[in-house]
Amino acid sequence: MRFKLTLEYEGTRYSGWQSQKNARTVQGDIIGALREILGTDNFELYGSGRTDAGVHALAQVAHLEAQTMLAPHILRMKINDNLPADINILEVEKIHKAFHARYDAVSRSYLYQISRRRAAFAKRYVWWIKDALNADLMRDTGALFLGMKDFRSFTADDPDEKSMKALLEEIRVEEAGNLILIRVRGSHFLWNMVRRIVGVMAEVGRGKLTTAEARSFLYEHSDIPAKLTAPPSGLFLERVYYRGDEILSDMQSTIRV
């Protein structure tokens, strides 16, 4: 029997989504909870994709293949009862046998939160930038990355192992009080890609990098984006889209600063 799980997590304490030896991960904690509930290791749990250490999720998706008589709402309740407070299963639903959380996803969106002021309660969820930021310049920079582009300067992945090209469908910048919100939506993302894009956008917003220099990183390999990588604290996996899903329009901050 196959189930689709939608979940949220606060990633500060975790070494990302994907199970790892000698490291605590979100997937690892959910697998531990499922062992307790199902009384067996004979099940499979696959996520829609990995998130880096310290990155959060508003709506990660996974699929579970398991033999159980538990109804979806009971399964959700029992999993949550066995999880720490910073991981929460939002929904469990039966899904057709061919559904795959990763391979059936058609796009993903990430939300990044930059704070313009020092905050006592939001440190885990924002990147505080002391310098003045020009949001219009950041929008102009974001527009450079739209479309099918080569992101080899924006990833720690090995270009000999996978394609460096990705299709970005939306980069949106909004101001909400003392926050600057950035949404990046695309077909898929390389390792550290969103955080490097945000880091470059912020550097242009500071006035320390030009849009022309930012554009050049797409055509000539550069180590500069790696040095500008935004911290994981401000990054959220916002939504995973499947065929027929409605694309989010409004962008909502997770906190008030």
Write out the catalytic residue numbers: 52
Using DSSP, state whether 198 is helix, strand or coil: helix
Name the pairing type of β-strands 44-47 and 56-65. antiparallel
- DSSP output for 121-150: S-GGG-EE--S---HHHHHHHHHHT-EEEE
Residue 237 β-bridge partners: 57, 110
Pairing of strands 147-150, 165-176: antiparallel
DSSP letter assigned to residue 245: P
Distances (CA, A) of 192 to 33, 133, 231, 250: 29, 22, 10, 25
**Beta-carbon contacts of residue 60 (< 8 Å; ≥ 6 apart):** 6, 7, 8, 9, 17, 26, 47, 48, 51, 237, 240
Q: Provide the 8-state DSSP code for 173.
A: E
**Joined tokens for residue 221:** 């390999």
